[in-house]
Amino acid sequence: MAFGLTGLLIAAGFSSLGQGYAIWLFSALMAFILIGSRLMQKRLATSIEIDRRLNELADCHEIRTESLSPVIARDHAAQGWNRLVETAFVQRLLDQADSSLHESTETGDDSLISRIVNILNDGLVVADSSGTVLWQNDSLNSLLPIDHSDDGQPGMLRFHEFFRTFENFDEQIAALTDTKTLAPVAFEMYRGETTNEGVLRISRQCIAENERSHGGATFLWTIRDVTQQKLALEMRDCFVSAATHELRTPLCNIRAYAETLIAAEEINAQEERQFLNVILSEAGRLERTIDNLLNISHMQAGGMTLDRHETQIERLVNEVQETIRPLFEKKTLNFETLVPPRLPDLNVDKNKLAAALVNLLGNAIKYTPDGGCVRLEAEFEGNEVRFHVEDTGIGIAAEEIPRLFERFFRSNDPRINDIQGTGLGLAFSHDVARLHGGRIDVASELNKGSRFSLILPASLARLTPS
């Protein structure tokens, strides 16, 4: 029909428009027919190729992604086939990854699960109802001294025998050997009389219940070192107790002297002045305690910052002396200060630096018996500005010096049991020095005294002209 229509158009062209125009129209129509037939052939070829591949897949017993390949064409049929091939390749990659993961977790001692279990900080033990160790992870060796047989497997020791040397073994033997209770159990084992010697938290879960009527079961024991957590809790409790005392004592003294002044009908001027001085001194003590607590709060929150200003060393030392004077007046001590002339000004946070020096001096006063000596010295030498606080007190044991700047740390020396303290003053002073780019050095000898040196870099110094 298309060719009949074409013939009629050509005939009409010859008859009405002339021979030239008819030839042009005939050429255009032939070109249109050729292009259309070519496009139709390409589409048919794509459909035939896709149909051929589908027939091949239908005849295959096993379809492999390697046998699938995309079709180079732009029609919808080709786009659909190519999307199908792409999806098959992606699924193949996912299957390979999943297979690799399963292989890595099912290859025995070198498996992923085994490696994860062995790098845990907690010790893990699987034991039967008799307490015999069936399996343990490597981390247990760092927590408990465990003997192994020659083949590297756990020995025949019962689980409770690992703890025979612990301080509270007799108290916890029932919990260590109880196999009738299948509910979770948790308790703590102490290596020695003090927390410092080590504390382990032991917990047990029943992971398999076999022949319960005969008492058979399998248990998972978890052993965790909680020494640091227990020490932190003890130090926190000491801090709360000390802070309460430090706040209550001056308040009680202020109230007592104020009530005495109010109740007294007749009191001479000298006694009145003495009472008022005590009230003023206790108010200053209370203020220092509150300032220390606020500074400690900022320090713990990691938000302590410096407000730097030009500060004269001599004026700083004088202010520290006035602040600490009430503590000296309560004891019979010799107090010396040495501040050479012409020291440079410092670009520092004066209030925090003064609080740090007050803490150092306060400790020197507290731990120096009556008749002793406390000395404050400032010097500028080389590349450093140094503030030395030296005393003839009870001194510090060498093994405790590395822990002096830990928060809540208190010495085990029995001579300081009755001396109140928060265990945070030195930590605060250390942070103040650190924020200024400096440090605190400590030298001490038991029963002879201590020397704390707060050292600042010379870059903070501002030399005044001659």
Q: Tell me the mean pLDDT in the region 51-65.
A: 70
Closest CA to 392 of 351, 353, 444: 444
pLDDT category, 21, cuts 50, 70, 90? Answer: low
Burial label for 183, CB within 10 Å (0-12, 13-18, 19+), is: exposed
Question: How far, in Å, CA of 371 to CA of 449, rounded?
Answer: 13
Q: Please say if the pLDDT value at position 151 is more than 50.
A: no
Q: What is the pLDDT of residue 32?
A: 59
User: What does pLDDT average to over the chain?
Assistant: 78
Residue 296: its pLDDT value, please? 67
Q: Output DSSP code: residue 132.
A: B
Secondary structure E strands in 64-216 = 123-128, 133-136, 185-190, 199-209
Cα three-residue angle 402-197-154, rounded to 5 degrees: 125
Give 440's pLDDT tier (boundaries 50, 70, 90): very high
Walk me through the domains of the chain, giving residue ranges and CATH numbers: 2-103 (no CATH), 118-225 (3.30.450.20), 307-462 (3.30.565.10)
* CA–CA separation, 31 and 40 (whole Å): 14
Going by their DSSP bridges, the two strands 373-381 and 334-338 should be labelled as: parallel
As a whole number, mean pLDDT of residues 79-87 equals 74
Among 9-23, 279-293, 397-411, the range scoring the smallest mean pLDDT is 9-23
pLDDT digits (tens, 9 = 90+) for 192-236: 888 888 899 999 988 877 654 445 788 899 999 998 888 877 777
- pLDDT category at 104 given cuts 50, 70, 90 is low
The identity of residue 276, as a single letter, is L
Distance CA(36)–CA(25), nearest Å, equals 17
pLDDT of residue 372: 92
How confident is the model at residue 364, as a pLDDT? Answer: 93
DSSP three-state, residue 422: coil
Q: How far is Cα 30 from Cα 7, in angstroms, rounded to an integer?
A: 11
Nearest to 357 by CA among 462, 452, 422, 247: 452
- Show the CA angle centred on residue 83, arms to residues 79 and 88, nearest 5°: 150
Enter the pTM of the model. 0.50
The average pLDDT across 289-314 equals: 77
Tokens of 339: 């501040």
Confidence band, pLDDT 50/70/90 cuts, at residue 462: confident
pLDDT, average across residues 372-389: 92
Look up residue 241 and give its two tokens: 């107790």
Contact by Cβ (8 Å): 408, 238: yes
Q: What is the pLDDT of residue 25?
A: 57
Helix (H), strand (E) at residue 425: helix 425-435
pLDDT bin (cut points 50, 70, 90) of residue 34 is low
Which pLDDT score, from 0 to 100, does residue 307 have?
Answer: 87
Higher pLDDT, 332 or 80: 332
Which tops the pLDDT comparison, 43 or 83?
83
In the block, tokens 């450093």 appear at: 384
Residue 24 banded pLDDT, cuts 50, 70, 90: low
* Residues with Cβ within 8 Å of residue 377, at least 6 apart in sequence: 337, 338, 339, 386, 387, 388, 390
Query: Number of H helices and number of E strands within the chain?
Result: 11, 13
Which residues are 355's β-sheet partners?
none
